[in-house]
Amino acid sequence: MKASLTPFRKLPKALIVILMLSFLVYLYGIDWGLPSVTGWTADELTPSIVLKGVERSFSNGWRYKYPPFHFYVLTVLYSPLLILDLLNFVDVHSLPIQTLLFCIGRFLNVILAVSILIIVYFCGKEIYEKRAAVFAALITALIMPFTYYSKMINLDIPYLFWFIVSLFFYIRILKHHRYKDYLLFSAMAVVAVCTKDQAYGLYILTPIVLVINHHLYLKHKNPSISLKESLLDRKITHSLLLGVALFAILQNLLFNLEGFLGRIELITEGQASIHPRFGNKLFEHLDMLVQSFMHLKFSLGLPLFIVCILGLLRSLWQLDQLYLLWYLWIPVLSYYLFFITVVLYNDVRYLLSSCIVLAFFGGKFLADFLKPSHSFFKTKIILVTAILTYSFFYALTVNVLMHSDSRYYVENWMEQNIDKKALVFGASDVKFLPRLKPFNSILDTELTLDVLQHYHPDYIIVSKAFDGRRFEPDTKEYEFFSKLENQELDYTLVLQYQSNPSLNLFNREKVEYTKVRQRYIQSNFDKINPEIKIYKRTD
């Protein structure tokens, strides 16, 4: 036990400070939208979703749009409360227990996010010196979407954790070609894919590169060895067998093959499939590539983005020393080619793995830039301190917006101005609205004038995160929102609110980069602090 803790006892003090501050930043806002049984986060793995899987033992045709591994992890953490529920001491479906389960799941992501920083440091140590590794961890900690996803039960942080662990063994394979590293890389890669399907893209080209490197490594020791003999080496065959077996076990293929096949159909052809935002022509692929750079700049913030790009360019003159650093692009390139360009859909969170790889280049650049022996050292310290300070508050903006979310104010306004007997119609997804449980409320997925006439509610609540912009102009839903906003119906606007905190360093709105086309930052951040409108019937 003492031996296993030794690497962590030797963590640099600067890294420990980074981890402690990151933990506090990630933890702050963990109660956003709670108490609730749904939360305000898009695509969050809510406790009710996990409990449905538990009720069916994740077998006998059970399926959801995400793989089951993180379901298993959450089930283990939920197990004390599940046992108490079986003994009739608590009700896991009650609001207080659901809220507690929310906090458990979110806290797990906080721990995983902080752990990613530790693994990034160890990866950096394998590639270059400790100082650069610490800076790489620091830049990773300041990736703005980390601040958000670290405290939500989305699967982005969990699958990234397993990917970064696999990246550590990937680097060690390229350095040492040890048998255990091959096995551990295979296992961690499978766990990443079984946590979130899109991780498969990271591991299309990566094993090919490892096989080629393995063959060259053996050929250096034995020039007469053939490629076939290299492929039949136990490092390759055992890793492959381990990966296949572990995949079958984690996907529960023995007891839930029907559910597995159903989930594949669901995410490729069903409602959970990704609807392309770009076409499949060359110009549109270039357009998507430009969008990707916009997302990287948005995630890192302009100063750190420039630092990472400078590190990338500078490393070209150090390829003989930093060849391992450039090998990190293989999984990212694989991911872009075999996932992003296949689904033709791009999002800020889809490029978090690219941000982390850029952080390694930025870390090396800062370590070299701040060498005491170089000229203008004090001036450089001031410059870097300014960049890091800005980046810290840039990442902190997420917490500020969550803390001052417009829905908190709207809920208080409703308590004071709306009669509990009045019928309130939520014209949006429940996750984008104020919590309506205290009121006589209805939610309907069909937002048309016919539905409005059927319910004839006293109040209508609209969230900008889900309004008429989502629908084509010739649809009934667009007609509903258009007439409501233009006050062509028997409803008048009585409240329009969005908080405007002083600390808001990123722009979630439209970003125009040419005179012809306009691009939006594609992310879930428009769902934090959305503008809320309340309409009152005027009869």
For 420, 498, 534, the CA distances from 414, given in Å and listed in that order, are 9, 15, 9
Residues 170-176 have a mean pLDDT of 96
Higher pLDDT, 1 or 427: 427
pLDDT of residue 372: 82
Q: For the segment 464-497, what is each residue's pLDDT rounded down to a tens digit?
A: 888 767 788 888 888 999 999 888 999 999 999 9
pLDDT of residue 28: 95
Q: Is the pLDDT of residue 515 over 70?
A: no
Burial bucket for residue 29 (CB in 10 Å: 0-12, 13-18, 19+): buried
pLDDT level of residue 444 (50, 70, 90 thresholds)? confident
Which pair of structure tokens corresponds to residue 425?
Answer: 């119609």
pLDDT of residue 502: 84
pLDDT of residue 512: 41
Q: For the segment 116-164, what is each residue's pLDDT rounded down to a tens digit?
A: 999 999 999 999 999 999 999 999 999 999 999 999 999 999 999 999 9
Q: Is the pLDDT of residue 3 over 60?
A: no
Say how far apart CA 3 and CA 26 lie, in whole Å: 30
Residues 363-385 have a mean pLDDT of 91
How do beta strands 518-520 and 510-512 pair? antiparallel
Nearest to 277 by CA among 463, 508, 521, 45: 521
Q: Is the pLDDT of residue 433 over 50?
A: yes
Nearest to 406 by CA among 493, 496, 499, 535: 499
pLDDT level of residue 307 (50, 70, 90 thresholds)? very high
How do beta strands 423-426 and 440-443 pair? parallel
Q: Is the pLDDT of residue 451 over 60?
A: yes
Q: Is the pLDDT of residue 516 over 50?
A: no
> Residue 45: what residue type?
L
pLDDT of residue 508: 53
Coil, strand or helix at 105? helix
Q: For the segment 233-259, what is each residue's pLDDT rounded down to a tens digit?
A: 999 999 999 999 999 999 999 999 999
pLDDT of residue 507: 62
pLDDT of residue 325: 96
State the virtual CA torsion across 328, 330, 335, 338 in degrees, nearest 10: 180
Angle 392-393-394 from CA coordinates, rounded to 5°: 90
Question: What mean pLDDT value characterizes the chain?
Answer: 92
Among 108-112, 187-191, 426-430, name the one with the lowest average pLDDT.
426-430
Residues 265-287 have a mean pLDDT of 87
Q: Is the pLDDT of residue 529 over 80?
A: yes
Q: What is the pTM of this model?
A: 0.94
Asked if residue 189 lies in contact with residue 205, where contact means CB atoms within 8 angstroms, the answer is: no
Q: For the segment 191-214, what is each residue's pLDDT rounded down to a tens digit?
A: 999 999 999 999 999 999 999 999
Residues 431-446 have a mean pLDDT of 87
Higher pLDDT, 9 or 437: 437
Asked if residue 478 lies in contact with residue 468, where contact means CB atoms within 8 angstroms, the answer is: yes
Residues 38-62 have a mean pLDDT of 94
Q: Is the pLDDT of residue 511 over 70?
A: no
Q: Is the pLDDT of residue 517 over 70?
A: no
Q: Using a CB cutoff of 8 Å and minimum separation of 24, what contacts does 493-497 make? A: 493/533, 493/534, 493/535, 494/417, 494/534, 494/535, 494/536, 495/410, 495/413, 495/417, 495/532, 495/533, 495/534, 496/531, 496/532, 496/533, 496/534, 497/406, 497/409, 497/410, 497/413, 497/531, 497/532
